[in-house]
Amino acid sequence: MTFAWMGWTLPTALFFGFIALSLVTLGVLTKLVPNNQPRIGVLGVATQRGDRFFLALLGAAFIHLAWIGLVPKDVPLWFATAASVVYAGLVFRFV
């Protein structure tokens, strides 16, 4: 079985590797720090660690899509990744 049809480039492999590593990290955190009490943030709803992680991933997807659609092609996509990391930090801190 060949996976050539999937277009495995380095960025694609890094992306899926990051997602897998993040899910493993969340599982380890659940075992090491089981006190995952919901907290009320700026959204006004109770969120747990996994909810905030999902919101951070969803926001990162929208940041990258907006970057690809609105920013000139000569500006590297790594800036969108940096913006996504800052956004994720804000989500984990305030949501």
Q: Do residues 44 and 26 share a domain?
A: no
Q: List Cβ neighbours of 68 (8 Å cut-off, separation of 6 or more).
A: 77, 80
Contact 73, 37 (CB under 8 A): no
Write the CA distances from 18 to 4, 11, 71, 75, integer angstroms. Answer: 21, 10, 24, 23
pLDDT score at 61: 93
Q: Do residues 43 and 72 share a domain?
A: yes
- Domain membership of residue 81 as a residue range: 38-95
Give how far the C-alpha of residue 91 lies from the chain's centroid of Cα atoms, to the nearest Å.
10
CA 25 – CA 19 distance, rounded (Å): 10
pLDDT one digit per residue (tens) for the chain, 95 residues: 566 677 778 877 888 898 999 999 999 988 998 888 899 999 899 999 889 999 999 999 999 999 999 999 999 989 999 999 999 999 999 99
pLDDT score at 15: 84
CA 45 – CA 72 distance, rounded (Å): 37
Q: Do residues 29 and 72 share a domain?
A: no
How many other CB atoms are found less than 10 A from the CB of residue 84?
Answer: 19
Tell me the pTM.
0.79
Q: How many domains does the chain have?
A: 2
